[in-house]
Chain A
Amino acid sequence: MSQTQVVVSGTKSAPKLRVDHLGVVYDRDGQSMPVLEDINLEVRDGEFICIVGPSGCGKSTLLNAMAGFLSPTSGSVSIDGETVTGPDPRRILVFQERGVFPWLTVEGNIGFGLSKLPRAEREKRIAHYVKTVRLEGFENSYPSDLSGGMRQRLQVARALAVNPDILFLDEPFGALDSITRVIMRGELLRIWEAVRRTILFVTHDIDEAVQLADRVVVLSSRPARIQDVLTIDIAHPRNISSPRYLELRDELLKQIGLAYEI
């Protein structure tokens, strides 16, 4: 009995995702250009992490390395103790734009990763996620007939449909207008609270980070290192004019500002 408890608490404290002395060096015209340097990070299961930093610092590179699209020059990324060697349907990367397949309908896109399921199960899953991202009535529409926000919701639905442990989101709302972005943040939080997946979310928007994240990882300018990790200790739904919110927001702004000065 007590042994079981030890095992349970043991698995609980093990991180879902672990970045260990990660370094990435690009090779541009024979010149080596360090992009990421000695990145160390542990992410718990179900945690919502935002990654911010000055533009061009390597936020997307970090996300791509964690998702397996890019092999690190040094160090490693492991998920559930298993070293990441390539992209895997257990963790899905959501792109900033044009990520959905324009030749498939909404249903076709959501069902893209489900071809191995029996037909009935697949249809049930599709219908469920159509509802989750509120695209009812657009099941047979093509992405070209959807707005930018709907397309991003569709991309999130396609990702969720394969039941991934981790969602990597690369500035998913970056190309949307500011009103749609605010709505999409609320939608993402609602979905996250329903499915409780680990989320790593790259953004250049400080407010977005403070509104969404459990913890915010601040990267320095290139070559990027982790400058600070800020815990956002405000319960959802967050009041964006509360003193604590403003305090954290100012702290983050200061961090980024410092990063610019260096």
Chain B
Amino acid sequence: MRFPRWLRPTLFIAALLAIWEIAVDLHPGQILPGPVSVAGGIVDLLQHGLLLKYVVASLFRVTWGFSLAAVLAIPIGLTLGWYRRGEMAFNPLVQIFRPISPLAWIPLAILWFGVGDLAAIFLIFVGCFFPLLLTAMSAVHNIPAVYINAGRNFGLSPSAFVSRVLYPAVIPQLLVGLRITLGVAWLVVVAAEMISVNSGLGFLIVDARNAGNRYDLVVAGMVVIGVIGLLLDIGMRSLEQIKSFRWRSSEG
């Protein structure tokens, strides 16, 4: 028997939801809300117009923080990767900053930018910058020498060499790095919103608990975060499928 590809995961999730609901019904004293009340919470949020507002607020911060990090980290990383001496000078610094959790920057972010969008965007930026920098550096190292030599052979100007050989050669690795980092950004935004702003999905979760122990809304927020994270990942993966980007996997 052949099922459509989407059928198996859908059935599996449906089964898990059913088990969840049954378990919650059997133990009404527990404080984990069941799927029905979570769905009710999502509907509640939708009716108040809060869900869309919060999702947009979170995505807005992620877009800015992630884009700023990408725009800065990728050119710097590519340059450092190409000029090994520059990398040798910068590498210790990068390795010191990289393991610092972006959440450790929260006090400084609030001190510098106050409570608001800028602080959250800064935290996402910090969380994305170093992974992207390292991705770009290693992507340059991994360009097969054959492409570089072929590019040199045809007498390209330095700028043409960058745009026609270097850049397309690193794209597949950069896309993987961008996809993973976007996931990081989505993790960081929720944490940042719990502390440094008063809108967004992270704020929704903290607020729902503080303002009246609405755990159905807490879990609703978690579900929405998960679903949007999945959609972001699918979006980035679809970029990787573009033929002129996808070459690495197909050529080995």
Contacts and interface: CB of A to CB of B under 8 A. Distances in A.
A89 B168 contact: no
Interface in A235-251: none
A212 B245 CA distance: 38
B153 A67 contact: yes
Given A89-B153, A89-B155, A162-B154, A99 B146 contact: yes
Contact of B251 (A69, A92, A95, A144): A144
Contacts of B62: none
Given A87-B152, A162-B154, A143 B251 contact: yes
A58 B149 CA distance: 18
A92 B154 CA distance: 8
A211 B150 CA distance: 28
B169 interface: yes
A142 interface: yes
B247 interface: yes
Contacts of B149: 69, 87, 93, 95
Contacts of A101: 147, 150, 165, 168
Contacts of B251: 98, 102, 143-144
Contacts of A178: none
A147 to B, nearest CB: 13
Contacts of A86: 152
Interface residues of A, number: 23
Contacts of B245: 103
Interface in A65-113: 67, 69, 86-89, 92-93, 95, 97-99, 101-104, 112-113
Nearest to B150: A99
B9 interface: no
Contacts of A143: 247, 251
B247 A95 contact: no
A67 B165 CA distance: 20
B243 to A, nearest CB: 6
A113 B247 contact: no
A142 to B, nearest CB: 6
Nearest to A69: B149
Contacts of B153: 67, 69, 87-89, 92-93
A4 interface: no
A102 B153 CA distance: 17
B244 interface: yes
Given A103-B168, A103-B245, A115-B160, A144 B250 contact: yes
Given A69-B149, A87-B149, A142 B244 contact: yes
Contacts of B164: 112, 115
A115 B147 CA distance: 17
B29 interface: no
Interface in A159-173: 162
Nearest to A88: B155
Interface string B47-63: 00000000000000000
Given A101-B147, A102-B251, A113 B244 contact: no
A160 to B, nearest CB: 13
B212 interface: no
Contact of B247 (A69, A88, A142, A162): A142
Contacts of A162: 154
Interface string A131-145: 000000000001110
Given A98-B251, A104-B168, 20 more contacts: A67-B153, A87-B149, A87-B153, A88-B155, A89-B153, A92-B154, A93-B149, A95-B146, A95-B150, A98-B144, A98-B146, A101-B147, A102-B251, A103-B169, A112-B154, A115-B164, A142-B247, A144-B250, A144-B251, A162-B154
5 contacts: A69-B149, A93-B149, A93-B150, A97-B146, A102-B251
